[in-house]
Structure 1
Amino acid sequence: MSRAGHLLNRKVEVWRETAVDDGGGGRTKTWVHQATERARKSQPTARERTTADQTGAELDEVWYFDPGTDVRRGDQLRPPGRVLKVTYIVEPSVDDVYRRANCMLVQPLNGTT
């Protein structure tokens, strides 16, 4: 566990788009559950939101994971009631501290946010 591991107080499902055989000789893309990981949700600061706006990115939520967690750009995080797209992965300047995933809300599930 990383030095920040004690702060990872939630579990979130990680899903990845994967190409699978469609049974007719072709392939189709589908979302496949990769793992349920320990994480921490944080709200982006006003400065982070401004930076995202200036670069044309959307930033709704920030999630932190252990540094070795396999979370990639394009993955989906699925906390209860929401689907988030990972738009950017940030590695800390100090090794073995955390892995940060900047995310945008794709859709609420069951009409909730």
Structure 2
Amino acid sequence: MRRGTGHLMNTSVTVWRVVLADDGGGGQTEAWAPQGEQPARLSQPTARQREVGDQENAHLTHVVYLRPGVDVRRGDQLRQPGLRLEVVAVFEPSVRGTYLRADCTSRQAEGE
């Protein structure tokens, strides 16, 4: 029996995504909306991961591990109080259904 990764999730993040809303004048505006809270594990990337990220102009600051099947996409934000992480890329490991990995950059909120 394969053991899940749920026991490794030691914090939680709220997934935020840009959604379109009618502006009342026939157009649309973009707004950030919460998509739900998810158990997570935040890690710092290794030196090698940072090097690869820098080569792709991603500048990784965190690697976030989530449960498999969580709806997290490139461009989403993962938020905790005082921390906003912009999702640069999302990966599944070679063994599907084990976990989901989101490579992120730190984004400072306005006014901070």
Q: Same fold (TM over 0.5)?
A: yes
How many residues matched? 110
Give the corresponding residue for 1:26: 27
> Which runs of 5 or more structure 1 residues have no equivalent in the other structure?
none
Residue 60 of structure 1: CA displacement?
0.7
* 3-state secondary structure, aligned to 1:70: coil
Give the corresponding residue for 2:95: 94
Give the corresponding residue for 1:76: 77
Give the corresponding residue for 2:48: 47
> Which runs of 5 or more structure 2 residues have no equivalent in the other structure?
none
* 1:31-76 CA distance string (max 9 Å, x none): 0100000000011000100111122222011100011111110001
Give the corresponding residue for 2:63: 62
Q: Percent of aligned positions with the same letter in both sequences?
A: 51
CA RMSD between the two structures: 1.4
d(CA) in 2 for partners of 1:34 and 1:109? 21
Amino acid across the alignment from 1:62:
V
Give the corresponding residue for 2:37: 36
Find runs of 4+ consecutive structure 1 residues off by over 6 angstroms. none
* 1:53-100 CA distance string (max 9 Å, x none): 122222011100011111110001111201111000011000111000
* 1:16-42 CA distance string (max 9 Å, x none): 001110111110000010000000001
Residue 109 of structure 1: CA displacement?
6.7
Contact 1:81 1:110 in 2 (8 A): no
TM-score between the two structures when normalised by the length of structure 1: 0.91
Give the corresponding residue for 1:85: 86
Amino acid across the alignment from 2:24:
G
